[in-house]
Amino acid sequence: MAKNKKQHDREISTRARRMWQEAGSPKGRESEYIERARELQAIVEHPDAGLLPNPMLAHPTPVELAEEAELLENLGEFPSRTDQGDRLPAPLTKAKARKLLSDA
């Protein structure tokens, strides 16, 4: 049974308003209740969606596991935030840019 967009949005709005009022109508938090109502409405409209097979069962653990020592050796190979290049912290003035270019 397919619902039209207006009816779907109306049900979400009604559910959100009811939950918001039950929580004491907290000011500025209406959008949180709309998002919660959307999630609940999706569960109501698609109750079997949570019954999908576990994707982790399709990928069993590998036969050959990496040893912890190998993992620890590789930790230093990844760049940190300071290794991202030699960028200047701020834009140069024209005079500093000319001096930098003439020195190169």
Residues 11, 17, 23, 24: what is their CA dihedral angle, to the nearest 10 degrees?
-160
pLDDT tens digit string along 18-66?
Answer: 999 999 999 999 999 999 999 999 989 888 877 877 777 766 666 666 5
Q: Could you state, in order of their start, the residue ranges of all structural domains in the chain? A: 5-49
Regarding pTM above 0.75, the answer is no
Q: Is the pLDDT of residue 84 over 80?
A: no
Average pLDDT over residues 79-93: 63
H-assigned helices in 1-104: 5-22, 30-45, 68-74, 94-103
Q: What is the CA radius of gyration of the chain?
A: 28
What's the full length of the chain, in residues?
104
What does the alpha-carbon distance between residue 88 and residue 83 come to, in Å, rounded to a whole number? 13
Place of tokens 């300071």: 82
Cα separation, 36 vs 6, whole angstroms = 18
User: What's the pLDDT score for residue 14?
Assistant: 95
Mean pLDDT over residues 75-86, rounded? 59
